[in-house]
Amino acid sequence: MAANDKPWWLRPVAPQAYFRSLPIGRLSVLITAVFFLFSVIGFYVDLLYKGALPFAAVLAIAIYCGLNASLWVIVFSRLSRLYLLLLIILQFLSGRINTALVDWMVHAFDLQPVPSEAGIRFAGTAIMSVVALSYIFFIVFIRREGKESLRLRTELELAHKIQETLVPPVESRNPRFEIYGASQPSDKVGGDLVDVVSLPNGDAIAYVADIAGHGLPAGILMGMLKTATRTALEDDAAHEPGRTLPILLGRLNRVLPQVKEPHMYATFTGLRLGVDGSVFYALAASPPLVHWHADGQPVSQYEEPQFPLGLLPVSEFEGHSLEVRPGDLLVVATDGILEVTDKLKNEFGTERLKSVIAANANGPLPKLAARLLETVRAFGPQLDDQTILVVRCL
């Protein structure tokens, strides 16, 4: 649904959020690299004094500078803004701290200045050494993070293939109805589902479900919902045709809370398409069901103020019958289509949806669906999964 429902590895991640997500073992490699890199400042100070500072004092300044830089990484990755303020204040005192540290060491240990040539040679060698060590640790950190990124990318590619298996374009036809559905996820893994289930008596259940959010968590829950739906419909022979969808919604609403995170839920639009030409429908917090009439009547839309699935313990869901005639179209579009906005923040909406349907009503259903998706993408950027289900009465 909303763009901020994406999992952290699919969002544009701020540096602080990225570092906060790193385990301390991986972060310690970066801290070490930063320590060695900024310890160069200590040896650079010695060069400014023409190598005359005692070796121990130079090492002390280098260690202080390295620790100071490491603190920045630790504060940004693990601590609050209060510590950041204290760290900024510390920077104004660093010069005085270094001077006091050198003076104390000189007097406490009776340190003597070193020959300039030897001091410069020591500072130059130390700079080369710590830069090399810093480079090594940075390479180790980058390689580890690269492997982790590659692992996540591989998992997402695998999840994308599973998505294609679970939600392929659906095409079905019986003597009374022609059905087509397609879904385009906004990420590699989406939470929208379109499916058609054939019942033993020849009737068909065509439905669209939309899991709140997208990405891997929504994709996993979507797969569970598809399995639960098909399992629940296996014993449909025991129900009256008009009760199939309400009973299905009730079962899904009881099952989903046990297999999902508390904030997740699903919207659902279901159609029972009978071999006798009957149509029953049920909605659960989903966008309107659009009915285009072949005889020229104004386009109808049907809405139902019912709760989504898996969010609240709803006792019962409602279902309704629908009168259709040959040539009529029934269209279900998820909010990933209806809520697309243009540069002026105008939504695509149901009225534009009806216009596209009317202009392409007599063509093949796959062409109608493709034309609709093309129109939506030309209208504004895709921010959510986009799913369309079209049924033609024959």
Statement: residue 30 has pLDDT above 60: yes
Nearest to 63 by CA among 97, 39, 91, 41: 39
CATH number at residue 354: 3.60.40.10
- Does the structure show a pLDDT above 80 at 2? no
**In this prediction, what percent of the chain has a pLDDT beyond 90?**
51
Name the residue with higher pLDDT: 153 or 142. 142
pLDDT at 108: 86
- Alpha-carbon distance 52 to 46, whole Å? 7
The residue among 98, 133, 160 that closes a domain is 160
Q: Which domain holds residue 194?
A: 167-393
**Residue 288 CB-half CA count within 13 A:** 15
- The answer to whether residues 360 and 274 belong to one domain is yes
Task: State whether 153 and 184 are in the same domain.
Answer: no
Q: How many CB atoms lie within 10 A of CB 50?
A: 13
pLDDT band (50, 70, 90) for residue 18: low
For residues 144 and 171, state if they share a domain: no
CA-to-CA dists, residue 173 to 168, 194, 215, 227, 297, angstroms: 16, 15, 32, 22, 25
User: With 50 as the cut, is the pLDDT of residue 369 above it?
Assistant: yes
| pLDDT exceeds cutoff 60 at 9 | no
Q: Verify that 105 and 251 share a domain, yes or no.
A: no
**pLDDT digit string (tens) for 197-248?**
999 888 999 999 998 876 677 778 888 888 889 988 887 666 788 899 999 9
Digit-coded pLDDT (tens) for 295-346: 999 999 999 888 899 888 887 899 999 999 999 999 999 999 999 999 999 9
Boundary (domain end) residue, out of 130, 160, 190: 160
Q: In terms of domains, do 88 and 46 share one? A: yes
Mean of pLDDT values over 171-199: 87
Count other Cβ atoms within 10 Å, centred on residue 126.
Answer: 20
pLDDT of residue 378: 94
Confidence of residue 155 (pLDDT cuts 50, 70, 90): low
**Do residues 155 and 177 share a domain?**
no
Q: Given a cut of 90, is residue 176 above it in pLDDT?
A: yes
Strands 289-292 and 320-322, sheet pairing: unpaired
| 369 and 239 share one domain | yes
Task: Report long-range pairs for 139-148 (Cβ below 8 Å, ≥24 apart).
Answer: 140/29, 140/33, 141/26, 141/29, 141/30, 141/33, 144/26, 144/29, 145/26, 148/26
pLDDT category at 10 given cuts 50, 70, 90 is very low
Give the residue among 65, 273, 309 at the shortest CA–CA distance from 179: 273
Q: Are residues 200 and 148 in the same domain?
A: no
Confidence of residue 11 (pLDDT cuts 50, 70, 90): very low
Look at the chain and report how many structural domains it folds into: 2
What pLDDT, on the 0 to 100 scale, is given for residue 163? 64
Average pLDDT of the segment spanning 148-170: 72
Answer yes or no: do 106 and 25 share one domain.
yes
Bigger pLDDT: 151 vs 97: 97
Which distant-in-sequence residues (6+ apart) come within 8 Å of 390 by Cβ? 179, 180, 181, 329, 330, 331, 332, 365, 368, 369
**Mean pLDDT calculated for residue range 90-94:** 86
- For 34-63, how does the pLDDT look when each residue is reduced to its tens digit (9 = 90+)? 999 999 999 999 999 898 999 999 999 999
Q: How confident is the model at residue 12, as a pLDDT?
A: 42
Do both 379 and 361 map to the same domain? Answer: yes
Please, which residues bridge with residue 26 across strands? none
| Final residue before a domain boundary, out of 145, 160, 175 | 160
Report residue 7's pLDDT band, with 50, 70 and 90 as the boundaries.
very low
Q: Tell me, what's the pLDDT at 16?
A: 58
Same domain, 246 and 271: yes
Within this chain, do residues 260 and 384 fall inside the same structural domain, yes or no?
yes
Looking at the predicted structure, is the pLDDT value of residue 6 above 70? no
Q: Longest Cα pair distance anywhere in the chain, in angstroms?
A: 104
Average pLDDT over residues 147-169: 72
